[in-house]
Amino acid sequence: MGEKFKSKSWLIGVFAAIIMLSIGWYLVDRMEGKIPSVAVNPSIVSLGRSQKVNFTVSDAKSGVRKIEIGIVQGEKENTLFDKSFSSRGFGRGGDHKREIIDLLIEPEKLGLAEGRAVLRITAWDHSLRGWWKGNKTQVEKPLMVDFKPPRTEVLTTMHNVNQGGTGLVIYKLSETCSRDGVMVGEHFYPGHSGLFDDDGIHAAFFALEHTQGPETKLVVLSTDRAGNTSRTGFPNAIRRKAFKKDSLPISDGFLDGKMPEFKLDAPENKPLTNLEKYLIVNRDVRKENFKEIVRVTAETENTLYWEGDFLRLPNSAPRAGFADFREYFYNGAKIDEQTHMGVDLASLQQSPVPAANAGKVVFTDNLGIYGNSVLLDHGFGLFSMYSHLSHISVDPGQMVARGEVVGKTGTTGLAGGDHLHFSILVHDTFVNPIEWWDAHWIRDNITAKIREVKSVLNENAGEASSGEEAGR
């Protein structure tokens, strides 16, 4: 009897241990302490009239149980989102590991006033912690409700711009902006701080494309961090310019000599003729090369590296002008047309090419139709470009002084004879280099304006400090 009883109690013991272990295992699993994670995108600091916000709530362990999103202002709390997610069953975790929520927040419709508010995101998981309420995460993002567009005060007084030329506008912003600059028709040119001690004063160099005439609208556009935008006009006069027309005969000799330089993909059974190749290069490769230029000029330093007028290749004769409209002829028939966005300057073969002004080397490579090319960043979106070089003598990242040799002229790319193709760009737009070779133009349109704004600011600063002294 006793033995039987003993073996039974042994069985019960094992059974109880298994149950205890299972419960323990269950509790360890169900009592996990990892809180849900919350991500808010974009990381907003201001709310304008309408703002799209994306929330991602995840809990990899026991799953998301509940999410609440609200905006609190003073005593008032607006619920923007409230949703619960069920578990797999009584006492079990949930399957919902991640919830992505896109909300359009419109503070006015919620009855919010301008001023401080808090965006509050609370999430719970299916853990048994917190007396079955789950692990809780609460994220609070303080922000400003702001419906007022930034005020923009244009500090430069007159803006005479030539078709195909450069302009400069200096303006003061009333608040930090996420995007500001000049709209020239549909083309945006960003403004930059760094030219003045006051970070709120921005300078924007802008271009008038050679196709944009006197009817083009110029405005300073500024968008604050809440998304409020203001458009501020400024006095300007746009002068129309006439551009030349030119016809270029394309000879078989030129094609035979040039086309092997360009490697183009063509089906093996149907190789391209030199003329077909030429048209692909003059049209498609030209476009690809321009995309590369746009990529390189997208970044610029907020430092005015240049000083004085820009150097022109010494002892050189102009061979083609800026924005010449070119028609191409082959055996007397027109085959193509393009616009020449630089100035061609011819000197002795393999003449040393001086940097037009001080700047930073941002590109040194072969660039299709342009051949071996060098691009310099002169700061604030002003670039110079040197093409068809036979030799490049600088490296990217290097600083060069005005007049320092960057390479030698040559015939690389689509050049018939040894010459320099020289271009100036304002951000992603080719402009007429003639202005930048002209010390008078630079003084009247750029340096005098900067000096004028600086002197007005100094006067104001002087008045403010003398006022303070008088008050003592």
The residue ranges that bind Zn ion (CB under 5 A) are: 344, 421
Q: Are 218 and 233 in contact (CB under 8 A)?
A: yes
Considering beta carbons, is residue 275 or 320 the nearer one to Zn ion?
320
Nearest to 359 by CA among 388, 385, 336, 341: 385
Residue 9: which H helix or E strand, with range?
Answer: helix 2-30
Q: Tell the smallest beta-carbon distance from residue 183 to Zn ion (Å).
A: 30
388: alpha, beta or left? (left if phi > 0; alpha if psi -120 to 50): left
How do strand 333-340 and strand 324-330 relate by DSSP bridges? antiparallel
Nearest to 260 by CA among 245, 242, 272, 246: 272
Exposed (0-12), middle (13-18) or buried (19+): which is 112, by Cβ within 10 Å? buried
Q: Tell the smallest beta-carbon distance from residue 340 to Zn ion (Å).
A: 6
Considering beta carbons, is residue 52 or 245 the nearer one to Zn ion?
245
Q: Tell the smallest beta-carbon distance from residue 179 to Zn ion (Å).
A: 34
Helix extents (H) in 31-132:
none
Task: Evaluate the CA torsion angle 225, 228, 232, 238 in order and state its sign.
Answer: positive
Considering beta carbons, is residue 32 or 344 the nearer one to Zn ion?
344
Q: Tell the smallest beta-carbon distance from residue 359 to Zn ion (Å).
A: 21
Q: Tell the smallest beta-carbon distance from residue 118 to Zn ion (Å).
A: 59
Q: Which residue is nearest to Zn ion (CB)?
A: 421
Residues 6 or more apart whose Cβ sits within 8 Å of residue 264 = 272, 277, 280, 281, 285
Q: Tell the smallest beta-carbon distance from residue 180 to Zn ion (Å).
A: 34
Considering beta carbons, is residue 378 or 421 the nearer one to Zn ion?
421
Residues 6 or more apart whose Cβ sits within 8 Å of residue 200 = 172, 173, 174, 193
Exposed (0-12), middle (13-18) or buried (19+): which is 467, by Cβ within 10 Å? exposed
Q: Tell the smallest beta-carbon distance from residue 383 to Zn ion (Å).
A: 16
Task: Evaluate the CA torsion angle 434, 435, 441, 443 in order and state its sign.
Answer: negative
Q: Tell the smallest beta-carbon distance from residue 342 to Zn ion (Å).
A: 5
The helix/strand/coil state of 353 is strand
Nearest to 150 by CA among 87, 94, 220: 220
Considering beta carbons, is residue 341 or 382 the nearer one to Zn ion?
341
Considering beta carbons, is residue 258 or 360 the nearer one to Zn ion?
258
Considering beta carbons, is residue 189 or 370 the nearer one to Zn ion?
370
Q: Tell the smallest beta-carbon distance from residue 421 to Zn ion (Å).
A: 3
Considering beta carbons, is residue 192 or 421 the nearer one to Zn ion?
421
Considering beta carbons, is residue 30 or 283 the nearer one to Zn ion?
283
Q: Which residue has the tokens 């109690």?
A: 9
Q: Are 136 and 124 in contact (CB under 8 A)?
A: yes
